[in-house]
A and B are shown apart, each in its own frame.
Chain A
Amino acid sequence: MRFSIKWVLVLLTFVVLGATGAAAEAPDFAAMLKAVDANGDFGSQDYSAMFTIVTQKPTEKDSVMQVKLFRRDNNDQMVWIMQKPEAQKGQGFLKVDENVWMYDPESGKYSHSTMKETIQNSKAKSSDLKKTSYGDDYTVAAWEEGMLGKYPIYLLTLKAKSDEVSYPMLKLSIRKDKPLALKEEDYSLTARLMRTVLFPPRYIDVAGKTVYSQMLIEDNLNPGEKSQLTIADVSVAKLPDATFSKAFLGQSAR
């Protein structure tokens, strides 16, 4: 009996030491999340890209929307020009601070509104307009290692730091070899899976950063509803100042 107790103690010692050792080996997840965030942050550089969104709904025909986006975050300026669907082609939007101008190619007229009005008159949430940062908005509540396809990953359970972040809990799969997310699961306050975002490992290298060229978004509350977002023509080349003007909206429509 004494022998057994001794061995149990030895085993427990190993377990405790092993756990301590494992804890010591836990990666710096805060730094990892910052690195994932940094991939999409172009800082003071201008940014332009073509976004194509294909939306599938079980009861509707697939819809395609294509938007050319120009951003100058330093001045809080953004321009987006609709390319598809054909009915909306040429519609342009210019956002400068809180002001939004819309150009209608049919009438050739501009209309002005503010972001506040735009939000109030739409189903958009203010959180939709605020870029979520994994590093700033979430803490790592749990983690484990695993495989996603052929990629070894860290599966992190993230909890929102405040109750003003859109999704209270995320499960984020990050590649072990690079600070790139492969999958994100967004959960409601009641811990129900609301949507899954897949980041296929097809990347675009721009200005020393690796950005996703595709995202697949699945609505888990409405089975069969999904969207595919494709990003192309990404550039961080300096844009002419005239890009962020009303005149540019009109020119782009021609």
Chain B
Amino acid sequence: MALATIAFKNLNRQKKRTILLGGAIAFGVLIVTLIDGFSGAFKQNVSENFADIAAGHIFVEGSEKTASGKTLTVIRDDTVLTDVLKETGIPAQYLSKRSIAQGTLIFESKKTQLNIQGVDFGNERYLTERLVLAHGSFAAMSDRQGLILSEQTATKLNAQIGDRLLFQLTTVTGQQNVGDMVLVATTPDTGLLSGFSAYANLSYLNELLNLGNGEYQTLGIYLPSLAGMDRYATTYYDALRLKANVKDRSKTADTQGTGFGPMAAFMGGGTTEDTWTGVRYRVFTLDDLLSSVQQIVNVLNSVSIGILIVLFVIIMVGILNTFRMTMYERIREIGTMRALGMLRSGVRNLFLLEALFLALAGVVVGFAAAGLVMGVLSLFNLGTNSPLFILLRAGHLSFHVPIAQAIENILIIAALTLVAAYFPARAAARLSPALALRTTK
């Protein structure tokens, strides 16, 4: 306790030096915590926003083998899917039944490739509650050929509300088809995801895809939140396997991002062939679709650790030099303490305690500053029509620092600081009391 008090008083004696060193540590903690906070919220925000776009957290896609061996993506009868959902008691907030067509949208001499999602606007209130329109209204989707495009796509095609466009696509069986569509509304530019923000009436898109009334391609199960998504997906998959042919989920995981069917359209995937007949389902989650997001999070975490180490190596050099200087400044004081009976370990521990207090003070100030900066940044409303919207939570930047990550950072900082202070502390401890007392500054 006496050592701790002396260490604290020593730090207090050199206020300017302590503030500078502690400030350097706090700055490092601030930067690293901001990165951790961003990456912590990144996955959650992207997943939640993508859940809104894809209309679900858990998805079931239906496939059917034709007599000629061709695989069609279609759910013709979803009784077994909805029955299993009821049996398992999964708290589904909404169910979305969608078809997706990849094709070319043509207007006058301009064209663009995109995916159009077929939505049952009569029943899928969920989309109308979440999707922000820049121009036009959802009411106009009563026109069965109605089309909602992102402003970016509409601008690219030079199309205005009310214009008639052509959509060229292939049916589920691979036949060429063309449909007329009327642009009735536009959504704000959402950056990279603008290409996915195209919606048409499910019944009309089905007609173009040569699917029947009431048929669709993917069932989306929208949960109250991301929490429990994997557990519910496993429960659903296990229950569905007992009643229908379901693609092995481990294989689904192997082909993350390259699955078949309309969801693959999001991720640029292809067809996975194997030997089966009849009807088969595939159960997958947002995580399966967004495996690349986890990779980004992993990269961000690695960057954060890298920055932490680089910053603290620089800070360590500062601590090392400062403590070496402190040792020379206090050389007679050390000699006195040693002459009065303080052990070598006591002198070493005094220096190490000073370094530890400095590190902890820096960490506390760094966390407080990071919390302040994150709080201020979160106040800015960037709007739901921002190109960055996929990274935002309801238009705001959000941060989440995982506790484990924060503890890991504190331990790394403490360890690095102690390592830096150890060598001057050891040198101070090895000083001979007589030699130290004879030394003049």
Which of B174-182, B391-399, B405-413 interfaces with chain A?
B174-182
A58 within 8 A of B: yes
| A12 proximal to B (CB < 8 A) | no
Given contacts A58-B109, A163-B210, A221-B106, 4 further A-B contacts (CB under 8 A): A119-B270, A120-B270, A160-B175, A163-B171
Known interface pairs A59-B109, A125-B170, A222-B106. Does A164 touch B70 (Cβ–Cβ under 8 Å)? yes
Contacts A/B (CB < 8 Å), 28 sampled: A58-B109, A59-B109, A116-B271, A120-B271, A121-B270, A125-B174, A126-B174, A160-B175, A163-B175, A164-B66, A164-B173, A164-B175, A165-B175, A166-B175, A167-B175, A168-B175, A188-B168, A188-B175, A188-B177, A189-B175, A189-B176, A190-B178, A190-B179, A194-B176, A221-B166, A221-B168, A222-B109, A222-B111
A112 CB contacts on chain B under 8 angstroms: none
Give the complex CA separation of A222 and B170 in angstroms: 17
B273 CB–A CB distance under 8 Å: yes
Which residues 16-59 of A sit at the B interface, judged by CB distance below 8 A? 58-59
Using CB atoms, name the residue of chain B closest to A57: B109
| Measured CA separation A59–B109 after assembly (Å) | 8
Residues of A within 8 A of B (CB): 58-59, 116-117, 119-121, 125-127, 160, 162-168, 186, 188-190, 192, 194, 221-224
Partner of A190, one of B106, B170, B174, B177: B177
Query: In chain A, what residue has the closest Cβ to B258?
Result: A120
How far is it, in angstroms, between the C-alpha of A162 and the C-alpha of B168 when the chains are bound? 20
- A224 and B109 CA atoms in complex are apart in Å by 8
Residue of A nearest to B173 (CB): A163
Given the complex of chains A and B, what is the CA–CA distance between A58 and B106 in angstroms?
A: 14
Instruction: List residues of B (1-52) whose CB comes within 8 Å of A's CBs.
Output: none
The reply to whether B176 and A166 form a contact with Cβ atoms under 8 Å apart is yes
B60-104 residues with Cβ-Cβ distance < 8 A to A are 66, 68, 70
Q: Give Cα A104 to B289, complex, Å.
A: 34
- The answer for the CA separation of A166 and B210 in the assembled complex, in Å, is 13
Chain B residues close to A by CB (< 8 Å): 66, 68, 70, 106, 109, 111, 166, 168, 170-171, 173-179, 208, 210, 270-271, 273
CA gap between A127 and B176 in the complex, in Å: 10
Known: A116-B273, A221-B106. A190 touches B208 (CB 8 A): yes
Q: Which residues of B contact A192 (CB under 8 A)?
A: 178
Report chain A residues within 8 Å CB of B174: 125-127, 164, 166
Once A and B bind, how many residue pairs between them come within 8 Å at the CB atom?
Answer: 62
Chain A contacts for B168, CB-based, 8 A: 188, 194, 221
Does A189 contact B106, Cβ atoms closer than 8 Å? no
Q: CA separation between A190 and B167, bound complex, in Å?
A: 11
Instruction: Specify which of B66, B68, B176 lies most central, judged by the most chain A CB atoms within 10 Å of its CB.
Output: B176
Out of B68, B171, B178, B208, name the residue touching A194 (CB < 8 Å).
B178
Query: CB-nearest residue of chain A relative to B68?
Result: A164
Cβ distance A60 to chain B, nearest Cβ, rounded Å = 11
Closest residue of chain A to B113 (Cβ to Cβ) is A123
* Residues in A whose Cβ lies below 8 Å from that of B176: 166-168, 186, 188-189, 194
Contacts of A165 in B (CB 8 A): 175
Q: How far is the CA of A192 from the CA of B169 in the complex (A)?
A: 12
Residue ID in chain A nearest B108 by CB atoms = A223
CB nearest neighbor in A for B260: A120
User: Closest approach, in angstroms, between the C-beta of A120 and any C-beta of chain B?
Assistant: 3
CA distance A189 to B111 in the complex (A): 20
Chain A: minimal CB distance from B160 (Å):
20
A188 adjacent to B178 (CB under 8 Å)? yes
Q: Report Cα–Cα, A120/B111, bound state, in Å.
A: 22
**When A and B form their complex, which 4 residue pairs have the shortest distance between CB atoms, in order from nearest?**
A120-B270, A189-B177, A188-B178, A163-B173
Expressed in whole angstroms, the Cα–Cα distance for A116 and B68 within the complex equals 17
Contacts of B106 in A (CB 8 A): 221-222
Q: Using CB atoms, name the residue of chain B closest to A167.
A: B176
Tell me, rounded to whole Å, the shortest Cβ–Cβ distance linking A225 to chain B: 9
Shortest C-beta distance, A23 to chain B (Å), equals 31
Name the contact of B171 in the complex, choosing from A119, A189, A223 (C-beta under 8 A). A189
**B178 contacts A221, C-beta separation under 8 Å:** yes
Note all chain A residues with C-beta closer than 8 A to B173.
163-164
Task: Specify which chain A residues have a CB less than 8 angstroms from the CB of B166 in the assembled complex.
Answer: 221
State the Cβ distance, A62 to closest chain B Cβ, in Å.
16
Of chain B, the residue at the smallest CB distance from A168 is: B175
Q: CB-CB < 8 A to A121: which residues of B?
A: 270
- Least distance between B339 CB and chain A CB atoms (Å): 77
The chain A residue with its CB closest to the CB of B70 is A164
Name the A residues within 8 Å of B208 (CB-CB).
Answer: 189-190
> Nearest Cβ distance between residue B110 and chain A, in whole angstroms?
9
Complex formed: what's the CA distance from A59 to B179 in Å?
24
Closest A residue by C-beta to B166? A221
- Please state if A189 and B210 are interface contacts (CB–CB under 8 Å): yes
CA distance A224 to B271 in the complex (A): 34
A117 to B111, CA, bound (A): 26
- Chain B residue with the shortest CB-CB distance to A189: B177
CA distance A58 to B270 in the complex (A): 32
> What is the CB-to-nearest-CB distance from B159 to chain A, in angstroms, rounded to a whole number?
15
Residues of A near B68 (CB, < 8 A) are 162, 164
B114–chain A nearest beta-carbon distance, Å: 13
Task: Report chain B residues within 8 Å CB of A188.
Answer: 168, 175-178
Distance from B115 Cβ to chain A, minimum over Cβ atoms (Å): 14
- How distant is B181 from chain A, measured CB to nearest CB, in Å? 12
Least Cβ–Cβ distance between B205 and chain A, in angstroms = 13
User: CB-CB < 8 A to B177: which residues of A?
Assistant: 188-190
The distance in angstroms between the C-alpha atoms of A221 and B171, with both chains bound, is 17
A162 to B173, CA, bound (A): 9
Taking the closest CB of chain B, its distance from the CB of A174, in whole angstroms, is 22
Q: Which residues of A have CB within 8 Å of B66?
A: 164
Q: How far is the CA of A186 from the CA of B273 in the complex (A)?
A: 30
- Give, as a whole number of angstroms, the nearest-CB distance from B384 to chain A: 33
